[in-house]
């Protein structure tokens, strides 16, 4: 037997180390050639490391979350045959080592600034993106299943022990479901006769502790026990006597006190469970911390009357044809931003604080905050200024699905100039979204709600939505932010303006 040391190969230019994110084997496991041993993550990709040989795992080097330098031993295997003990595996790369699309992009290009949530229209239609806030990640849902330890007879089945004879006779039925015949005095197995309680004394009180008997019956109890009951403020009509002829004893008083005692308080819990934050979750935490620490946020919330836009959306969806995608609210927001941002170039921008430079972009690349199984990502719809409403819906669906399925490319997860993050039907009244660093603004639609409003001094119910937003106060002043959101509100409340092409007239 020989040993083989599997080392972390050179997995890309400029990559000196990788983080161990998941072990797929443990000591003692037998592995086959090309079987996945471990997942590692670099700044560029998450990569499956596969074994070039078959063998048995002798030792694992490093825990999940540890950093491993290139060339360091990850797994030691016991192998058969003539393979050299220290033979290095072939160089791995995202192309030949099971690379998956990058989940460790700079958070400015990836993580969602709000909590996960499905974006739905008011009619319950699922929005393409989930629009989360970094402050909360919703927990994973638990689906209750059947208890494998419980079993019941099938329909119509009856087991000999499933129903005592006494229970059947009490119901007036025999084991065969028939009424019992009158029992003959000459029965070969006569039932023993138990002397009953004295008439008028115990029979009326032998019902239950919850049933108050007739108060005119005689209660059998010793004088000392009666005085004790009075001292304890016990109503003897509710006490079941177990002494001779139903006499109430001190033990019966104790049992009654115990039965009426209050339920014990909920038991205190003492456990503390630690979970190491690694991989993508740690990257998200680092980038959110950077955003919150380095960007002086201020938030602005405005309510919008979405009645006309929601009516238009429903009408368009009802008449769409062929391969036209179903429209959610976000494509309308995208087109409204494409109309508006050229008037506010400092909002469609990145701020490089270290260089003291604001980079204002002519193209409009909108990030869509999306919840995925791997964490919060921001896939990007590029050049929204050149897309119509159908193109926006189609491209948004494509990139968000790619992110959720783990096949989004680096380019699809980077380069946004402003971000949309929608809580949708999971909603809430308002939010304070965290800016997607190094951008300077983020827009967060909340859920649609029917609310009474005054129009021409009359109350009417309208479909309303609170529009949340956050801005980098180093770049966007409060006045400019309010003006920007008010202009966006005007477009949303008058959706025909979204589709009017702007041209310069000489």
Judged against a pLDDT cut of 60, whether residue 455 lies above it is answered with yes
Mean pLDDT of 278-283: 86
CA distances from 398 to 221, 331, 381, 425, 460 (A): 83, 13, 9, 21, 39
Write down the pLDDT at residue 263: 62
- Percent pLDDT > 90 in the chain is 52
Q: Cis link prior to 108 (omega < 30° from 0)?
A: no
Mean pLDDT check: name the lowest of 149-158, 340-349, 368-377, 479-488. 149-158
- Percent pLDDT > 70 in the chain is 70
CA distance 41 to 278: 10
Write down the pLDDT at residue 327: 95
Give me the DSSP letters along 178-201. SPPPPPPTT-SSPPPPPPPPPTTT
Write down the pLDDT at residue 189: 47
Binned at pLDDT 50, 70 and 90, residue 424 comes out as low
CA distance 380 to 384: 10
CB 87 within 8 A of CB 104: no
Binned at pLDDT 50, 70 and 90, residue 137 comes out as very low
Binned at pLDDT 50, 70 and 90, residue 140 comes out as very low
Mean pLDDT of 46-60: 92
Write down the pLDDT at residue 112: 43
Catalytic residue among 48, 297, 473, 480: 473
Mean pLDDT check: name the lowest of 34-48, 257-271, 298-312. 257-271
CB 297 within 8 A of CB 133: no
Tens digit of each residue's pLDDT (9 = 90 or more) over 218-248:
788 988 899 999 999 899 988 999 998 889 9
Catalytic residue among 165, 235, 388, 477: 477
CB 477 within 8 A of CB 471: no
Binned at pLDDT 50, 70 and 90, residue 80 comes out as confident
Mean pLDDT of 409-431: 87
Euclidean distance between the first and the last CA atom of the chain, given in angstroms as a whole number: 86
State CA 506 to chain mean position distance: 55
Write down the pLDDT at residue 252: 93
Binned at pLDDT 50, 70 and 90, residue 15 comes out as confident
Q: What's the 3-state SS for 169-180?
A: HHCCCCCCCCCC
Write down the pLDDT at residue 462: 96
Write down the pLDDT at residue 502: 67
Per-chain mean pLDDT for the chain: 78
Judged against a pLDDT cut of 70, whether residue 76 lies above it is answered with yes
Write down the pLDDT at residue 394: 96
Write down the pLDDT at residue 179: 40
Write down the pLDDT at residue 160: 40
- Tell me the range of 114-123, 136-145, 179-188, 325-334 where mean pLDDT is highest: 325-334
Judged against a pLDDT cut of 90, whether residue 268 lies above it is answered with no
Residue 99: φ, ψ to 5°: -65, 135
Binned at pLDDT 50, 70 and 90, residue 93 comes out as very low
CA distance 338 to 502: 11
CA distance 192 to 492: 87
Identify which of 51, 41, 48 has the alpha carbon closest to the alpha carbon of residue 21: 41
Judged against a pLDDT cut of 60, whether residue 37 lies above it is answered with yes
Binned at pLDDT 50, 70 and 90, residue 264 comes out as low
Write down the pLDDT at residue 81: 67
Binned at pLDDT 50, 70 and 90, residue 270 comes out as confident
User: Which position has the higher pLDDT, 483 or 149?
Assistant: 483
CA-only gyration radius of the chain, Å: 37
Judged against a pLDDT cut of 60, whether residue 84 lies above it is answered with no
Which residues make Cβ contacts (< 8 Å) with residue 94, sequence separation at least 6? 11, 12, 44, 45, 47
Tens digit of each residue's pLDDT (9 = 90 or more) over 356-391:
999 999 999 999 999 888 888 999 999 999 999 999
CA distance 128 to 401: 8
Rounded (10°) CA dihedral 375, 470, 379, 355: -100
CB 89 within 8 A of CB 52: yes
Which residues make Cβ contacts (< 8 Å) with residue 283, sequence separation at least 6? 103, 104, 107, 110, 111, 375
User: Which position has the higher pLDDT, 251 or 205?
Assistant: 251
CB 15 within 8 A of CB 94: no
User: Which position has the higher pLDDT, 147 or 50?
Assistant: 50
Predicted TM-score (pTM) of this structure: 0.58
CB atoms within 10 A of CB 462: 16
Mean pLDDT of 132-149: 40
Question: Is 477 one of the annotated active-site residues of the chain?
Answer: yes
Identify which of 153, 457, 430 has the alpha carbon closest to the alpha carbon of residue 300: 430
Residue 483: φ, ψ to 5°: -65, -40
Judged against a pLDDT cut of 70, whether residue 131 lies above it is answered with no
Binned at pLDDT 50, 70 and 90, residue 348 comes out as very high
CA distance 288 to 293: 8
- Tell me the range of 98-107, 195-204, 320-329 where mean pLDDT is highest: 320-329
Q: Which residues of 207-229 are buried (b: 16+ CB within 10 A; e: fewer)?
A: eeeeeebeeebebbbeeebeeeb
Tens digit of each residue's pLDDT (9 = 90 or more) over 337-346:
999 999 999 9
Binned at pLDDT 50, 70 and 90, residue 427 comes out as low
Query: How is residue 395 annotated by DSSP?
Result: H
Tens digit of each residue's pLDDT (9 = 90 or more) over 463-474:
999 999 999 999
CA distances from 173 to 166, 192, 248 (A): 10, 20, 35
Mean pLDDT of 88-101: 45
State CA 323 to chain mean position distance: 32
Q: Which residues of 270-308 are buried (b: 16+ CB within 10 A; e: fewer)?
A: eeeeeeeebbbbbbbeebbeebbeebeeebbbbbbbbbe
Binned at pLDDT 50, 70 and 90, residue 217 comes out as low
Write down the pLDDT at residue 267: 83
């Amino acid at each position: 037997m020989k040993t083989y040391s599997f080392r972390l190969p050179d997995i890309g230019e400029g990559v000196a180390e990788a983080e161990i994110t998941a072990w797929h084997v443990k000591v003692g496991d037998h592995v086959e050639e090309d079987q996945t041993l471990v997942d590692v993550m670099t700044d560029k990709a998450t990569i499956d490391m596969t074994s070039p040989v078959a063998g048995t795992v002798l030792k694992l080097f490093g825990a999940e979350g540890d950093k491993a330098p290139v060339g360091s031993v990850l797994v030691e295997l016991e192998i058969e045959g003539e393979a050299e003990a220290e033979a290095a595996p072939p160089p791995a790369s995202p192309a030949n080592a099971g690379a998956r699309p990058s989940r460790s992009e700079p958070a400015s290009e990836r993580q969602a600034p709000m909590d996960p949530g499905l974006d739905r229209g008011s009619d319950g239609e699922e929005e393409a993106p989930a629009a989360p806030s970094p402050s909360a990640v919703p927990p994973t849902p638990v689906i209750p299943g059947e208890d494998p330890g419980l079993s019941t007879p099938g329909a119509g089945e009856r087991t000999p022990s499933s129903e005592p004879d006494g229970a059947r006779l009490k119901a007036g039925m025999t084991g065969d479901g028939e009424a019992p015949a009158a029992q003959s005095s000459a029965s070969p197995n006569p039932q023993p006769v138990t002397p009953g309680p004295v008439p008028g004394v115990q029979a009326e009180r032998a019902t239950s502790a919850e049933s108050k008997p007739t108060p005119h019956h005689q209660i059998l109890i010793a004088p000392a026990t009666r005085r004790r009951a009075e001292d304890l403020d016990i109503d003897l009509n509710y006490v079941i006597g177990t002494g001779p002829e139903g006499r109430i004893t001190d033990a019966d008083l104790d049992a009654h006190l115990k039965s009426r005692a209050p339920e014990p308080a909920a038991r205190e819990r003492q456990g503390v469970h630690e979970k190491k934050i690694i991989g993508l979750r740690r990257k998200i935490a680092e980038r959110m911390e950077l955003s919150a620490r380095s960007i002086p946020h201020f938030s602005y919330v405005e309510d919008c009357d979405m009645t006309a836009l929601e009516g238009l959306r429903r009408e368009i969806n009802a008449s769409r044809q062929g391969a036209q995608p179903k429209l959610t609210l976000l494509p309308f927001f995208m087109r409204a931003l494409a109309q508006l941002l050229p008037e506010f170039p400092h909002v469609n921008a990145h701020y490089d604080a270290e260089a003291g430079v604001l980079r204002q972009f002519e193209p409009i690349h909108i990030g869509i905050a999306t919840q995925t199984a791997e964490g919060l990502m921001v896939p990007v719809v590029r050049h929204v200024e050149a897309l119509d409403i159908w193109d926006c819906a189609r491209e948004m669906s494509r990139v968000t699905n790619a992110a959720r399925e783990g096949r989004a490319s680096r380019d699809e997860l980077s380069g946004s100039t402003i971000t949309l993050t929608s809580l949708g039907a999971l909603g809430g009244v308002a939010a304070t979204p965290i800016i997607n660093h190094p951008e300077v603004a983020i827009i967060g639609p909340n859920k649609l709600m029917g609310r009474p409003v005054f129009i021409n001094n009359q109350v009417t119910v309208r479909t309303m939505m609170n529009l949340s937003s956050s801005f980098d106060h180093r770049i966007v002043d409060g006045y400019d932010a309010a003006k920007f959101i008010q202009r966006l509100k005007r477009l949303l409340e008058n959706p025909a303006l979204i589709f009017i092409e702007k041209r310069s007239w000489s």
